[in-house]
Structure 1
Amino acid sequence: MINALSNEAYRTEWRKVEPILNDPKHPLRRQAYLLPRTLEELRRKRSGFYEIEEGDSVFANGLADYAHSLLAGWHAQWGGGPPAALPEQAEHLSKLYRESENSGKIITTSLHPVKPLDPKEPDASVISSETGGGITIRGRQTFGSEALFADELLVFLQESGEDAPSTVVLLPASSDGLTLQSYPSLTAGVTAWFESTFVPWERVIVFRSKEGVARLLTDPSAQLLADYQWVARQLEALELVIGTAFALAEHKGLHTELHIQGDLGELIQELETLRALLHASEIGAATWDNGIILPASVPLAAAKKAGGLYYKRAIDVLQRIAGSVIADSPALSSSGERETLLQLVLKLAGSEAAFRRKQHEVYAFGDPIRQAAAFYLHYPTHRLRKRYEQFWAAASSGQTVPQEEQTFV
């Protein structure tokens, strides 16, 4: 149930996405389920739902694309049956994927934990009961506002005392006991209230297995496509912020100032670095045993780690260039080129939505320091150690250090 139908912001957003909602075979819906088998098909996955209104819709947060790509990756990897490392419930993956694909359903997910319904009972279990027919969920979870237009929610459940999710379900948004509560501004997201929401076993992908969920979220063949779309979306968002910074600097006559030129030059460097990393992941793309072509993991992981930090820096530079221009321009609702530019600056860098967006881009997958540590732990450091050993071996013998051809994995 959705309690936002009388919300003006909801109706405005509905008009933006109406063509897609009314057409189950809309190209963006079909593309969401595309499993690329050629490099051209992989590159088609770049845009996703982000292209709605050129990134100016509730789908711009990337979570719907991420959810579709995760489910598609799981199906591609384990559609023929889950390995021993996954619980028996994972056998539902292929069936759920095919049902959603055939109906063109829009799916989204949340990276926030499901919390107990009552804040006074923080240790209450979010899975209140287990029966022969399924499980019952009692809790609340924050979603992006795109959940108001989704057909299904991919929900990760982390129970009291756990440090990671152990249960995954794919839940229809129309399920009994599920209410999506919106707020006057859709930038605040929505709260999903699971009030004794029943989930049949056929919609439970993993049940009470941290190892099983970790496998779903870390197996390269299941994760790379989702990360690829995430990075491609961040590249588009970064281009908009940097382009706005350039326009504002010229508008204020600051583009001739050395310190501003330095800031803008560094933004260009970061933008092109992110673009190059994404391109490198495509150059190193390989076809896996299941016939799906996936991007190279190392440059993609570097891009995913850098994207959020680059976005934050771009916003900081835009705010520095803006200075007091927003406070000095009260008539932002009037028409004209100047006001339109200032409205965009306010939207990107000076509003509640801007703050939430920056936090989302930087912290969606946790603390950047922990992300960097994880990158180090999974990086193929044997290559660097080999180069070190070759250097000293060659130095000792007076030979030239052999050059190793660079590859991406």
Structure 2
Amino acid sequence: MVKNGTEHLRSVRDGRAVYLDGKLVGDVSLAPAYRNAVASAAMLYDHQAAPANIERMTFELEPGRRVNRAWQHPRSYEEMVERRKALVEWAELTCGFLGRSPDHVASSVSAQYMGIQVLEDYDPRRAKAFRGWYEDARRNDIFLTYVINNVQGDRSKAFGDQGAGAEDMVARIVDEDSAGITIRGAKLFATSAIMANEIFVGSGQPLKPGEEHLAFSCALPMNAKGMKMLSRKSFEAHALSEYDNPLSYRFDENDALIFFDDVKVPWERVFIHRNTDMCRAQLHDNFAHVYQNYQAQIRLSVKLRFLVGLAHGVARTIGTVNFPAVREQLGKLASLAAIIEGMVYGMEAAGQLVNGYWMPNKHLLYAAQVQSQETYPQIVAAIRDLAGGAMLMLPSSVEDFANQDLARLISLTQISPAMSGEERVKLLKLCWDAVGSEFASRHLQYEMFYAGGQYVTRGHSYRTYDWKGADALGQRLMDGYGLEVKAPGQAA
């Protein structure tokens, strides 16, 4: 048995509270603001369930039950490569534009499970709760998202010092009893929450002593009583057609703020309880943070390949592909995409067995994050440069082609040495949706900041680099000479 798209569509029709434009949205699988994105998620599950794909995309968890390889716990380099190939195949279906596809948070919690000793050392009861919840989530191959960031507020002040009226700004424990904890307040960024099955709630930001009421982690179904999703603007709702806005029409995964309005969480779903150090440890003292971002780099490598292909397509369609300067620029873009892809392979090859599980190399992961935060905007800017005004002077919509007079004028003015006028418009509209539209702007911001600001990723890179080995190289050389003068040709 393998989860398919029909099952996923059925699972999101659960009465979840999603708000958009001042109104409560009903069935997200039918809502014009979300239905195509939800269908895209269902498409991923249909792909894994297709008989020709089952062996590649899933593994046998137990007799009669197969789940996506995102839940696989690789015990060797070979198994990690096998898992990565499945993640690449999923990413290719969306060209990497579902930033929080089902394999992202599944990767994070799987690494937490593989490093369960971190929770065992903290509190065996919380470890038991996590283990039971995780095994059920994996068995049902759920679409899991997370919220691990607090609302910004006044960045110059601590979360608990935002002033009168801001008590509910950040999600906190407001009550507890023998049945569980009650939480109130907000968390973000709940990307893909509108089409997920459950949400992992934690804290990816440092907490200080005195903020124990903010220090918890748990998991909740998306229809939990009192949980409200405040959706950002829907780009899908404003997409004219698939021809005019091919990416935003299908892949607007949406981002949401989650407000917990006195949400009761049973103890069997509480994993951290009033411990600031453990909130950090749950993500960083095992390989959870590395594993989730390893998946993100796999997805991004596919997205960069797609964008570089668009750049090449632009050069072909406007007839500049053989210009030396353009080929030079395309060669640079190809190298940037290949660097990230190569670093993914490096993370795997330089990985290590940790408690019997193969884990990617930490520093190469963080180094790739540093590079990708710079690479993505470079490639976007290069496509805009290569296209120039070509992406601006396009027909208003696909409806123009239905008018014979306009269709004739389009064929006369949208000339290309490589394709028809209709194909030229199609390609350039795709390019605009990828790099110039409001949807594209959101993706630029997402890729630059989903892992934190550059000071965060560069800090991770600094902390995980082998400085001892690097320093030793220079020291070994310096140890071989001193102030004494040696005769020419004399060995050190």
What is the TM-score when the length of structure 2 is the normalising length?
A: 0.72
Tell me the residue number matched to 2:72.
34
User: What amino acid maps onto 2:222 in structure 1?
Assistant: A
Match of 2:217 among 164, 168, 192: 168
- How do 1:248-267 residues align onto structure 2 when only pairs under 5 Å count? 248-267=314-333
Q: Does 1:148 align with 2:194?
A: yes
TM-superposed CA distance for 1:221, in Å, is: 3.2
Match of 1:333 among 398, 416, 424: 398
1:346-365 deviation digits (Å, cap 9, x = unpaired)? 11101111111111111112
**Secondary structure, counterpart of 2:379 in structure 1:** helix
Alpha-carbon separation, structure 2, partners of 1:312 and 1:24: 32
Q: Name the stretch that deviates more: 199-208 or 23-32.
A: 23-32
Q: Name the stretch that deviates more: 169-178 or 179-188.
A: 179-188
Q: Does 1:11 align with 2:35?
A: yes
Alpha-carbon separation, structure 2, partners of 1:322 and 1:59: 21
**Secondary structure, counterpart of 1:168 in structure 2:** strand
Tell me the residue number matched to 1:404.
none
Q: Does 1:292 align with 2:357?
A: yes
Alpha-carbon separation, structure 2, partners of 1:37 and 1:215: 23
TM-superposed CA distance for 1:66, in Å, is: 2.7
- How do 1:6-405 residues align onto structure 2 when only pairs under 5 Å count? 6-18=30-42, 27=57, 29-46=67-84, 51-52=89-90, 54-56=92-94, 60-62=98-100, 64-78=102-116, 82-84=120-122, 89-113=126-150, 121-124=165-168, 126-127=171-172, 128-144=174-190, 146-157=192-203, 166-182=215-231, 183-185=233-235, 187=252, 188-289=254-355, 291-333=356-398, 336-396=422-482, 399=491
1:121-159 deviation digits (Å, cap 9, x = unpaired)? 334352232333222222234445522221110112578
Does the aligned pair in 2 maintain the 1:156–1:165 contact within 8 Å?
Answer: no
Which structure 2 segments of 5+ residues have no match?
A: 1-15, 18-24, 59-66, 154-161, 237-251, 402-421
TM-superposed CA distance for 1:328, in Å, is: 0.8
What root-mean-square deviation, in Å, do the aligned CA atoms of Structure 1 and Structure 2 show?
3.3
Alpha-carbon separation, structure 1, partners of 2:163 and 2:35: 31
Alpha-carbon separation, structure 2, partners of 1:51 and 1:384: 37
User: What amino acid maps onto 1:364 in structure 2?
Assistant: Y
Alpha-carbon separation, structure 1, partners of 2:385 and 2:31: 35
Does the aligned pair in 1 maintain the 2:171–2:214 contact within 8 Å?
Answer: no
Alpha-carbon separation, structure 2, partners of 1:136 and 1:55: 39
Alpha-carbon separation, structure 2, partners of 1:23 and 1:197: 35
Shift in CA distance, 81/326, structure 1 to aligned 2, threshold 3 Å = closer
Does the aligned pair in 2 maintain the 1:235–1:271 contact within 8 Å?
Answer: yes
Shift in CA distance, 339/119, structure 1 to aligned 2, threshold 3 Å = farther
Shift in CA distance, 24/56, structure 1 to aligned 2, threshold 3 Å = closer
Alpha-carbon separation, structure 2, partners of 1:177 and 1:390: 63
Alpha-carbon separation, structure 2, partners of 1:232 and 1:75: 21
Which structure 1 segments of 5+ residues have no match?
A: 401-409
1:273-294 deviation digits (Å, cap 9, x = unpaired)? 22222222222222222x2111
User: What amino acid maps onto 1:175 in structure 2?
Assistant: A
User: What amino acid maps onto 1:110 in structure 2?
Assistant: V
Aligned pairs, how many? 397
Alpha-carbon separation, structure 2, partners of 1:393 and 1:108: 53
**Secondary structure, counterpart of 1:61 in structure 2:** coil
Alpha-carbon separation, structure 1, partners of 2:389 and 2:45: 41
Alpha-carbon separation, structure 1, partners of 2:227 and 2:291: 30
1:215-256 deviation digits (Å, cap 9, x = unpaired)? 122125333322221111110011111110111022122334
Percentage of identical aligned residues = 21
1:59-88 deviation digits (Å, cap 9, x = unpaired)? 71136423111111111111696124x685
Which of the pair has more CA radius of gyration? 2
